[in-house]
Amino acid sequence: MDSRIKIYDSFLSEKECAFISDSLVGPFSEKFPWTYSGRIVPIENCICDDLDDYQFVHSFYWGNKPRSDHYDLIDPLIQKIPNLAALVKVKANLNPRHPKVFTHGFHIDMNFKCTTGIYYLNTNNGYTEFEDGTKIESVRNRFISFPSDINHTGSTCNDKRMRLLINFNYFQGEPVERGEYDTGDGYFHRGDISKYEREGEGAEKKSGEGLPPDVSMEDIQEILSYHASGIKKSSNIRSFFDGIKKE
Q: What is the pLDDT of residues 223-238, one digit of tens each?
A: 666 555 544 444 444 4
Domain CATH for 23 = 2.60.120.620
Average pLDDT over residues 168-193: 67
| Residue scoring higher pLDDT (171 or 202) | 171
Q: For the chain, how many structural domains are there in total? A: 2
Task: Note whether 222 and 153 are same-domain residues.
Answer: no
Residues 163 and 238 in one domain: no
| Strands annotated E in the chain | 6-8, 35-37, 55-62, 65-66, 84-96, 115-120, 127-130, 135-137, 142-147, 152-154, 162-172, 180-182, 188-190
On whether both 48 and 158 belong to a single domain, the answer is yes
Domain that holds residue 25: 6-172
How does the average pLDDT of the chain come out, rounded? 82
Residues 125 and 243 in one domain: no
Question: Same domain, yes or no, for 136 and 246?
Answer: no
Same domain, residue pair 76 and 127: yes
Report if residue 185 sits inside a domain.
no
In the prediction, which pLDDT does 208 show? 44
Write the pLDDT tens digit of every residue in 57-111.
999 999 999 999 999 999 999 999 999 999 999 999 999 999 999 999 999 989 8
Of 127, 131, 123, residue with least CA distance to 151: 131
225 and 156 both lie in a single domain: no
